Amino acid sequence: MSFQAALAAQALPPLLLAWLALAGGLLAWPRRRLAGALALAGGGGLLALATPFAAGWLRASLEAGPPADGGPAPGAIVILGADSARAVSGMEIGPLTLERLRAGAALHRATGLPVLVTGGPVGPAAVPLARLMAESLAADFGITARWVEPEAGDTRGNALLAAALLRAEGIAAAHLVTHGWHMPRARAAFARAGLPVREAPVRRHAPPAGAWQDFVPRADHLALSWWMLREWAGRLAYRLRDGAA
């Protein structure tokens, strides 16, 4: 990243607003310390989460080690839905879901195994994500999903409903396609559902190297930090509910 690009990133919202909050906190601190502290914490926290360094370490904290290859031979490929996007023509799959479909399609071509897509509606009266995934898989990759699971509302539901579909077909294990930062929680959910899975992550990432560019806030990394914090919140919710990660 050039110095000019780094400066431009700070001059646009939302980072500009975070810098203003930080400046407001510094100005308020001498006379109104509580208000100043809150503004400093809010502005400084936003700027910190927007750095590639913080976002990268949050992601690294979620990703496990190399995928394990043991267990029963998979008889299917399970692709988990993630997000959707609203277009003029209606709902479409989002970028995270598209990345998972691309990885699942490559795995299908390499193994010849049938594909299961899973994901329920993302809102009231919305088209189930799994149906959008099946349409994209056919139109964009020329692959027909054998199973479309349109009811699951979360990762736990993905695991329970996909496992039931596959067991009904006599399939005892599957490849699991999702992002590396989501894989540990998804793998644990499938284990509790009684279906062994072999990890097939979209990708894994190296932790930030600590170069100066890693400490320059960028709005896109603020979004990445949000996804990683959301995943940690999901892990906490599953631990409280199920007593497991």
Please give the pLDDT value at position 187: 92
Taken in order 216, 217, 220, 225, is the CA torsion positive or negative? positive
- pLDDT tens, 39-98? 666 666 777 788 888 888 888 888 866 666 667 899 999 999 998 888 787 788 999 999
Residue 30 has pLDDT above 80, yes or no: no
How many CA atoms lie less than 13 Å away from 83 in the CB half-sphere? 9
Query: What percentage of the chain carries pLDDT values higher than 90?
Result: 43
> Residue 197 pairs with which residues in a beta bridge?
174
Instruction: Give domain 77-199's CATH superfamily.
Output: HUPs (3.40.50.620)
User: Domain ranges in the chain?
Assistant: 3-63+212-242, 77-199
In 74-106, which positions are buried (b, 16+ CB within 10 angstroms) versus exposed (e)?
Answer: bebbbbbbbebeeeeeebebbebbbbbbbbbbe
pLDDT tier for residue 164 given thresholds of 50, 70 and 90 = very high
pLDDT tier for residue 32 given thresholds of 50, 70 and 90 = low
Q: How many CB atoms lie within 10 A of CB 181?
A: 24
Q: How far is CA 154 from CA 69, 72, 115, 131, in A?
A: 26, 25, 19, 16
- pLDDT tens, 183-201? 999 999 999 999 999 999 9
Q: Which of 129, 132, 131, 115 shows the shortest CA–CA distance to 78?
A: 115
Residue 227 has pLDDT above 90, yes or no: no
* Residues 116 and 145 sit within 8 Å (Cβ to Cβ): yes
Where is pLDDT greater, at 44 or 218? 218
Say how many Å lie between the first and final Cα of the chain, rounded.
Answer: 37
Please give the pLDDT value at position 183: 92
Please give the pLDDT value at position 217: 81
Q: How far is CA 168 from CA 17, 76, 90, 113, 163, in A?
A: 54, 13, 33, 16, 9
- Token pair for 14: 């939302």
Please give the pLDDT value at position 231: 86
Q: In which element (H, E) is residue 235 found?
A: helix 219-242
Q: Where are the beta strands (DSSP E) in 43-169?
A: 77-80, 84-87, 90-93, 115-118, 147-149
Distant-in-sequence, close-in-space partners of 43: CB < 8 Å, separation ≥ 6: 18, 19, 20, 21, 22, 23, 24, 25
> Residue 176 pairs with which residues in a beta bridge?
78, 199
How many CA atoms lie less than 13 Å away from 228 in the CB half-sphere? 22
Residue 243 has pLDDT above 70, yes or no: no
- Token pair for 240: 């409280």
What distance in Å separates the CA atoms of residue 222 and residue 213, rounded to the nearest whole number?
15
* Residues 166 and 126 sit within 8 Å (Cβ to Cβ): no
